[in-house]
Structure 1
Amino acid sequence: MTTVSNESFQNLSQKNMSFEQVFDSIIQFMMQDTSGNYRLIFGTDSQVHAHYTLFITGIVIQCIGKGAWACIRKVTIPRKMTNLHERISYETTLTEEVVSLFTEERKKQLIDIVLPNIYQGATFTIEGHIDIGSGNRNKTKIFVNEMVARMESLGLEPKIKPEAFVASSYANRYTK
């Protein structure tokens, strides 16, 4: 039983955005500098609370050196999800869900914004940030290969801690 504030995205200035509004905001942000170096980044983090588990998926469009536009989507599971593999796997599933909204046609629209300027240095990459690490003391290291493979299967460039800032910092901020 999932309580998804379905397709409802928000950020500090806008609430209850549809995915279309999110996509339009990303286009508007990219149109401000069609020769920028863009990273479209997705990541999910979770926090187990007393009677529920809160999942936050972040979408960030970053123009390297020139700022970013971002929003989140909240999903609440009405139970304490204490199994670490289940929680990490569900975080990855929620990231995959949001990524799937970016169809090939939509990704092409974003690429077409920078395409005329690639010989002047414009770039566009898509990353999946996973809130796991491979360090010896990290309990999530046994899941790294599985979750990285899931991100790669979507055509995303996977990032784990410490590079996975959308999951481990941006989304994390909203799970508390």
Structure 2
Amino acid sequence: MTSDYKFQNLSQKDMSFEEVFEHIIKFINKEPNGSYRLIFGTDSQIHTDHTLFITGIVIQRETKGAWACIRKVVIPRKMINLHERISYETSLTEEVVSLFTDEKKEKLIDLVLPNIYKGASFSIEGHIDIGSGRKNKTRIFVNEMVSRMESLGIEPKIKPDAFVASSYANRYTK
């Protein structure tokens, strides 16, 4: 199942999910008493004959760097309907989050757990490329998409706090 997923970053192409997971473990092991955020988010861009979706996975050691990668999905048509596109972005984020089974999440938490009293922490966030501002067209979808992230047991973030979707993934959609 997970073999169908391919990830990449600036230094590596065609990474399997298992390779991504190993990178995350290595990153945490370098400093197990850090404050970690495992963050997921998807952004999209409509092009002439397709819509490009980029899902980012970021493991951030707060104030001390990050390791990240992306997954690309191309839909061979212009996905004009905003609700359909936002919903699909959320689905792609949910898909990648689901690769992190309870066992995998426990493995990551177990790396940090012995260091909780030294200030270590671990959280999981889903960044959604929507905003609740009065002028934001996506504000009508906030409750729906936030509920979907919460149902996965991860902390939802919307703009301006959704930087993995609105900034990191966004740069690869152009």
Q: If the length of structure 1 is used for normalisation, what is the TM-score?
A: 0.97
Q: Could you tell me which residue of structure 2 aligns to residue 98 of structure 1?
A: 96
List aligned pairs for 1:110-129, cutoff 5 A: 110-129=108-127
**Per-residue deviation, 1:120:** 1.2
**Per-residue deviation, 1:6:** 3.6
Q: Could you tell me which residue of structure 2 aligns to residue 164 of structure 1?
A: 162
Structure 2 runs not aligned, ≥5 long:
none
Separation in structure 1 between the aligned mates of residue 37 and residue 168 of structure 2, nearest angstrom: 15
Q: Could you tell me which residue of structure 1 aligns to residue 80 of structure 2?
A: 82
Give the RMSD, CA atoms, in angstroms. Answer: 0.9
Cα displacement string for residues 61-90 of structure 1 (whole angstroms, at most 9, x for unaligned residues) = 000011000000000000000000000000
**More helix, by proportion:** 2
Q: Secondary structure at the match of 1:39?
A: strand
Q: Could you tell me which residue of structure 2 aligns to residue 147 of structure 1?
A: 145
Q: Could you tell me which residue of structure 2 aligns to residue 26 of structure 1?
A: 24
Q: Secondary structure at the match of 2:159?
A: coil
Separation in structure 1 between the aligned mates of residue 63 and residue 131 of structure 2, nearest angstrom: 26
Q: Secondary structure at the match of 1:9?
A: coil
Aligned pair count reads: 172
Q: Could you tell me which residue of structure 1 aligns to residue 107 of structure 2?
A: 109
Q: If the length of structure 2 is used for normalisation, what is the TM-score?
A: 0.98
Separation in structure 1 between the aligned mates of residue 129 and residue 64 of structure 2, nearest angstrom: 25
Cα displacement string for residues 117-161 of structure 1 (whole angstroms, at most 9, x for unaligned residues) = 101110000000000000000000000000000000000100000
Moved over 6 A (4+): none
Q: Structure 1 residue 131 and structure 2 residue 129: aligned?
A: yes
Amino acid at match of 1:74: K
